[in-house]
A and B are shown apart, each in its own frame.
Chain A
Amino acid sequence: MRAALRRILQLAVVLLCVSFFSFGLLSLAPGDPVVAIVGFAAPSQLKAIGHQLHFDRPFLVQYWDWLTGFLHGNLGHQYFGPTGEQNVSTALGHALPVSLQLMAYAMILTILIAIPLGVLAAYKSGTVIDKIINTTAFGSIAMPDFALALVLSYWVGVKLHWLPSQGYEYPTHDFVSHLQHMALPALSLAVGQIAGYMRLLRSDMVATLQEDFILMAKAKGITNRRILWRHALRPSSLTLLTVAGLNVGALIGGTVVIEIIFQLPGMGLLLYTAITERQFVMLQSLVAVIAVGYVIVNVLIDTLYTILDPRLRHARAIA
């Protein structure tokens, strides 16, 4: 219980620091923040917007206002010159599902491919099959996801015309076309992840297969298939969870870049807009949303960890 409280406290501190960082970003920008936000405008307009954004108040008050606004879902506006504005939260509402879909497809692909490959490599460990799988995995870790995305969109999209090389389709509109549009982005994201998951699963299972309880299961005459999938794979679920935790950051970063290459209207494209059009308020909110999401996912993984492995609960309580 005390451990749980401590974790929640830690989480609160981290979230506070993260939000402070995202907010502080804008004030760190060289020059007048209002000018940075809206660009060139008449001094009276600048003053009005500065007042509207609370830039005439002390820094900590600004932060507090921003934080409470953020918690209420008010993410500020996109500014088009001194007059035009658009809600960031509306834009986010359209973009977030696209990114989540992409990440979900990538994860599904990863799990569907990495686990069987990892199990196969562990079962055949030391053989040619194992070496081929392992070497391929090692190589594909070295392939940057954006490079793979460009190569795929060149070969499969532009040269062979098998799949669309750009664009997005809403799943509610035309689901098959939606999947076709998502196939290449999801695959380019997944390849690196597959390699990561597979390699760790393999080395983990090779160790598990040496354990006494596997020998025991064999002695009882249980089929190899059942031993592999039921007895040997199960203890590795923790390892898979660890890899998931380690890879979430790479997955988010990858999604941002991949979305730009395939022109998917997700968070990445929004970030791209924020950067190229210098929409600092939007950048601030996007970074905050991504960071908070990332922290929450990591906490979830951590919690899942303690649920799955009771030993850890005690170990953590001591530490």
Chain B
Amino acid sequence: MLAQSPSTVPDSDLATLEPSEPPKTGRFRRPRSQRLGIGAWAAIIWLGIVLVGAILIPILVHSNPNNNAIAGHSSQGLFKVASHPLGFDRNGDDMLLNLAKGARNSMLVSLGAVGFGLILGGGLGLVAGYFGRGVDGALTTLFNVLLSIPPFVLALSLITVFATTAIDKTGNQHPPSSTHRLIVLIIALGVVSVPTLGRITRANALQWSQREFVLAARAQGASNIRIMLREVLPNVLPAMFSIAFLAIAFVIVAEGGLSILGVGVLPPAVSWGNMIAGTRADLQTLPFELFEPILCIFFTVLSLNYLGDIVRSRFDVRESAI
């Protein structure tokens, strides 16, 4: 965290200063401060439910076209129909099923985008931090340029250009398919997360590359690639992942914002974001249709932020290093 009291201990010495582990006689218990609290478990359980639900519910529950017949009941609100605990949306589709499908796409987009960012941004950051000098300068400038456009605006302009309705010379309109939009969405949000992940990786790689074991590996004749992947990368991973948690949360929220601008996940595909965006038209009649996806996003982002915080404090990742 930025505001943590400045540590007087240089980072390179931290490893040697960590409290020595208690002797492993009898049953080993982690010290209290290292155990996961209730909050962390709640976060993990929620994320587990979301993931399992996203995968299983659409397989187990089939949307029944006859459901439309009872769409009229949807205005009776929450918990009225036992077999459909979360009610119906305005098309008469089961909200639980919708939320699960939405979770699928929201997870697909966020994990895909952050995966993209981790591989590309992490890779570039590792190279920049390891080689330093000119390579570092060039890549840092690249990150700075990417960072100099507000992330949300960058994503929306990329998506507009690559995945909105195209008009050809004869005047025919070619609306993009949902899949096409999904792929562009993943890449665009991935590009957005490249500089953030790249910079944290670079900052950490820079520190670890100066350590003795890197020198030792080099002395033994290890190749640069080997040193980067086997010596530096494992030490940098915690920092990358703690930021990745935040990045996933950011992408989930950003997809919702993009949906409101009409460039998020494209209907008929569902995401939490476009479910929220879709309710703007009739807030009067179906408020739960708005609140349910919002709560899903809220708890997911909350869990990710919480876990990110824990990883960060455990591995002493400083945001100021970014």
Q: Could you list which residues of chain A lie within 8 angstroms of chain B, going by C-beta atoms? A: 10, 13-15, 17-18, 21-22, 25-26, 28-32, 35-36, 39-40, 138-139, 141-147, 150-151, 153-154, 158, 200-201, 203-204, 207, 210, 239, 242-243, 248-250, 252-254, 256-257, 260-261, 271-272, 274-276, 278, 280, 283, 287, 290-291, 294-295, 298
Provide the residues of chain B in CB contact with A14, threshold 8 Å.
Answer: 141, 144-145, 148
Is the pair A253, B150 in contact by a Cβ cutoff of 8 Å? yes
Q: Could you tell me the distance in whole angstroms from the C-beta of A158 to the nearest C-beta in chain B?
A: 6
Is the pair B149, A151 in contact by a Cβ cutoff of 8 Å? no
Known: A150-B276, A287-B153. A21 touches B261 (CB 8 A): no
Residue ID in chain A nearest B283 by CB atoms: A154
Report if B124 contacts A (CB, 8 A): no
Provide the residues of chain B in CB contact with A10, threshold 8 Å.
Answer: 141, 144
- Which residues 1-31 of B have a CB within 8 angstroms of A? 1-5
Report if B152 contacts A (CB, 8 A): yes
Is the pair B165, A275 in contact by a Cβ cutoff of 8 Å? no
Q: Which of A30, A31, A287 contacts B149 (CB 8 A)?
A: A287
Is the pair A252, B4 in contact by a Cβ cutoff of 8 Å? no
Residue ID in chain B nearest A150 by CB atoms: B290
Is the pair B2, A151 in contact by a Cβ cutoff of 8 Å? no
Q: Which of A13, A153, A242 contacts B2 (CB 8 A)?
A: A242
Query: In the complex the two chains form, what is the Cα distance from A207 to B284 in whole Å?
Result: 48
Provide the residues of chain B in CB contact with A25, threshold 8 Å.
Answer: 157, 161
Shortest beta-carbon contacts, A-B, top 6: A253-B152, A40-B171, A204-B3, A142-B302, A207-B5, A142-B301
Choose, from B48-56, B112-120, B197-205, B291-299, the stretch at the interface.
B291-299
Query: In the complex the two chains form, what is the Cα distance from A256 to B154 in whole Å?
Result: 12
Query: In the complex the two chains form, what is the Cα distance from A36 to B162 in whole Å?
Result: 12
- Which residues 24-54 of B have a CB within 8 angstroms of A? none
Q: Could you list which residues of chain B lie within 8 angstroms of chain A, going by C-beta atoms? A: 1-5, 141, 144-145, 148-153, 156-157, 160-162, 164-171, 249, 253-254, 256-257, 260-263, 276, 279-280, 283-284, 287, 290-291, 294, 297-299, 301-302, 305-306
Query: In the complex the two chains form, what is the Cα distance from A105 to B299 in whole Å?
Result: 28
Is the pair B148, A150 in contact by a Cβ cutoff of 8 Å? no
Provide the residues of chain A in CB contact with B141, threshold 8 Å.
Answer: 10, 13-14, 17
Provide the residues of chain B in CB contact with A275, threshold 8 Å.
Answer: 156, 160, 164, 261-263
Query: In the complex the two chains form, what is the Cα distance from A118 to B258 in whole Å?
Result: 32
Provide the residues of chain A in CB contact with B1, threshold 8 Å.
Answer: 200, 203
Q: Which of B170, B256, B291 contacts A144 (CB 8 A)?
A: B256
Provide the residues of chain A in CB contact with B262, threshold 8 Å.
Answer: 272, 275-276
Prevailing SS type, chain B contact patch: helix
Q: Which of A144, A200, A242, A252 contacts B150 (CB 8 A)?
A: A252
Q: Which of B4, B148, B279 contacts A298 (CB 8 A)?
A: B148
Is the pair A39, B167 in contact by a Cβ cutoff of 8 Å? yes
Is the pair A26, B261 in contact by a Cβ cutoff of 8 Å? no
Provide the residues of chain B in CB contact with A26, threshold 8 Å.
Answer: 161
Q: Which of A28, A141, A261 contacts B161 (CB 8 A)?
A: A28
Q: Which of A13, A30, A144, A298 contacts B301 (CB 8 A)?
A: A144
Q: Could you tell me the distance in whole angstroms from the C-beta of B210 to the nearest C-beta in chain A?
A: 15
Provide the residues of chain B in CB contact with A252, threshold 8 Å.
Answer: 150, 152-153
Provide the residues of chain B in CB contact with A144, threshold 8 Å.
Answer: 253, 256-257, 294, 297-298, 301
Provide the residues of chain B in CB contact with A242, threshold 8 Å.
Answer: 2
Known: A146-B256, A294-B148. A278 touches B165 (CB 8 A): yes
Q: Could you tell me the distance in whole angstroms from the C-beta of A175 to the nearest C-beta in chain B?
A: 28
Is the pair A36, B167 in contact by a Cβ cutoff of 8 Å? yes
Known: A36-B166, A142-B301. A207 touches B4 (CB 8 A): yes
Provide the residues of chain A in CB contact with B291, threshold 8 Å.
Answer: 151
Q: 6 A-B residue contacts at CB 8 Å? A: A29-B161, A30-B162, A31-B168, A144-B257, A154-B287, A253-B254
Query: In the complex the two chains form, what is the Cα distance from A44 to B144 in whole Å?
Result: 43
Residue ID in chain B nearest A165 by CB atoms: B283
Is the pair A256, B2 in contact by a Cβ cutoff of 8 Å? no
Is the pair B260, A261 in contact by a Cβ cutoff of 8 Å? yes
Query: In the complex the two chains form, what is the Cα distance from A250 to B164 in whole Å?
Result: 24
Residue ID in chain B nearest A135 by CB atoms: B39
Q: Could you tell me the distance in whole angstroms from the C-beta of A78 to the nearest C-beta in chain B?
A: 15
Query: In the complex the two chains form, what is the Cα distance from A295 to B164 in whole Å?
Result: 28
Query: Which of A29, A139, A150: most chain B Cβ within 10 A?
Result: A150
Residue ID in chain B nearest A143 by CB atoms: B298
Residue ID in chain B nearest A28 by CB atoms: B161
Q: Which of A31, A256, A298 contacts B261 (CB 8 A)?
A: A256
Is the pair B150, A31 in contact by a Cβ cutoff of 8 Å? no
Query: In the complex the two chains form, what is the Cα distance from A249 to B195 in whole Å?
Result: 14
Query: In the complex the two chains form, what is the Cα distance from A239 to B291 in whole Å?
Result: 35
Query: In the complex the two chains form, what is the Cα distance from A239 to B2 in whole Å?
Result: 8
Q: Could you tell me the distance in whole angstroms from the C-beta of A37 to the nearest C-beta in chain B?
A: 10
Q: Could you tell me the distance in whole angstroms from the C-beta of B47 to the nearest C-beta in chain A?
A: 13
Provide the residues of chain B in CB contact with A138, threshold 8 Å.
Answer: 302, 305-306
Query: In the complex the two chains form, what is the Cα distance from A145 to B287 in whole Å?
Result: 17
Is the pair A260, B261 in contact by a Cβ cutoff of 8 Å? yes
Provide the residues of chain A in CB contact with B301, threshold 8 Å.
Answer: 142-144
Is the pair A200, B2 in contact by a Cβ cutoff of 8 Å? yes
Provide the residues of chain B in CB contact with A271, threshold 8 Å.
Answer: 153, 156, 261
Q: Which of B5, B149, B290 contacts A154 (CB 8 A)?
A: B290
Provide the residues of chain A in CB contact with B305, threshold 8 Å.
Answer: 138, 141-142
Is the pair B169, A32 in contact by a Cβ cutoff of 8 Å? yes
Is the pair A139, B276 in contact by a Cβ cutoff of 8 Å? no
Instruction: Give 17 new A-B contacts, CB below 8 A, not counting A204-B2, A253-B153.
Output: A17-B148, A28-B162, A31-B167, A32-B169, A35-B169, A138-B306, A150-B283, A252-B153, A253-B257, A256-B152, A257-B257, A271-B156, A275-B262, A275-B263, A278-B164, A283-B161, A291-B153
